[in-house]
Each structure stands twice: as structure tokens, then as C-alpha cells.
Amino acid sequence: MNEQKDGSICGKVIAVSVSATHTFSKENQKSIKLVEGLGVKGDAHCGATVKHRSRVAQNPNQPNLRQVHLIQKELFEDLKDRFTVEPGQMGENITTVGINLLDLPTDTLLHIGTTAIVKITGLRNPCAQIDHFQTGLLKAVLDEDEQGNLIRKAGIMGVIVQSGEVKPGDSIHVRLPSEPFKKLERV
């Protein structure tokens, strides 16, 4: 992580992506608009209640804790010997660099660009669609720790707590929640 002299953590946006339909990959854009309480304007997952099809089938009135999906570019670097993955191709809205997103606790605030704020809700739970994109990728984005617990590496999810435009090159400043920290869980 890029820790600053004042102890804060900083990173950068390298790509922003959106898809109006429930496609696996999203198209890169010059900028995206994060809308407070809803998500990414024009994205199929934008809304106050769940938009992920399997969750809608369970209960369409659940709050949408998956308004925005972020993945760190460092994951693509880890996979590059076996897979070719570009920003947006794994369904993320924001591709970052310089922050280990998976190590951040639940409720961390990401201040992105000049006004947008994203509150981290949890880990993305990768599904079999990843293998339709590239065979074997699902196994590559899952791992186990020493105790046999599942480690999900396919990014994090969040909700928009303050609207704003986000574009490649924007800075990301991390504000950790009060301790004790809550470990990220699947949402």
C-alpha cells in the first residue's frame, strides 16, 4: 500500500467501467458518475435494492450492498502468467492501483476524486461466470489460508455515500473506520 507521511493510505484510479445490461465484462469509460445511495449511473447494478439477478430471485427488497465493484490492478499482475485480464473485464466499475483493497476492513471510506465517497461493504463472491470468461479463472481468484478458510480475491463491493464523478487518474484516499476493525466478508 502507498502509505503517506501522515500515515494515510493513497492509491489511484486507473480505469472506470459500466454496463447497462447484466454482462460479465463492462466497457471502459472516460468517467463515471457515482450516485449517493444508488451506485454507478447507467450501470445494471444501480439501485437502492439488489440488482444482482440471483439475489433479486431470493428477495428483491434487500438493500443493495453491491452498488459499486472495485478491483485492484495488482490482481491482474498476479494472474498475467496464466490469464489476460484488462480493466473492466471482470465486471468491476473501478480498477485501482496502489491499495490492497482486500486488506481493508468493512466500513472503510474511499474518497475518490474530488467529491465521491464509497463505503466498503464486503468482498465480491466470484461465481462460475468467471470461467465462461476464461476457463480456470475462478480457481485462480480463490485461495485458502493456513486454516483452510476461503480467500476471495475478485475485488470488493461498496455503497455510494457521497456522489461524484470518477475518472482514470483520480486519487483515492483511504479513511479507516474506528477500531475494532471488522474483517471483510462476502456480500
Tens of pLDDT, residue by residue over 107-120, are: 999 999 999 999 99
Instruction: Tell me the whole-structure pTM to 2 decimals.
Output: 0.94
Average the pLDDT over 28-45 and give the result. 98
The arithmetic mean of pLDDT across residues 17-45, rounded, is: 97
The DSSP bridge pattern shows strands 94-97 and 68-72 to be parallel
Helix (H) or strand (E) holding 150: strand 150-152
* 95 Cβ contact partners less than 8 Å away, ≥ 6 residues apart: 13, 14, 15, 16, 17, 70, 71, 72, 73, 87, 88
| Closest CA relative to residue 45, chosen from 138, 152, 157 | 157
Q: What is the pLDDT of residue 172?
A: 98
Task: Note the pLDDT of residue 155.
Answer: 98
Structural domains in the chain plus CATH codes = 2-175 (2.40.33.20)
Among 5-19, 79-93, 132-146, the range scoring the smallest mean pLDDT is 5-19
The pLDDT value recorded for residue 119 is 98
Q: How many CB atoms lie within 10 A of CB 126?
A: 21
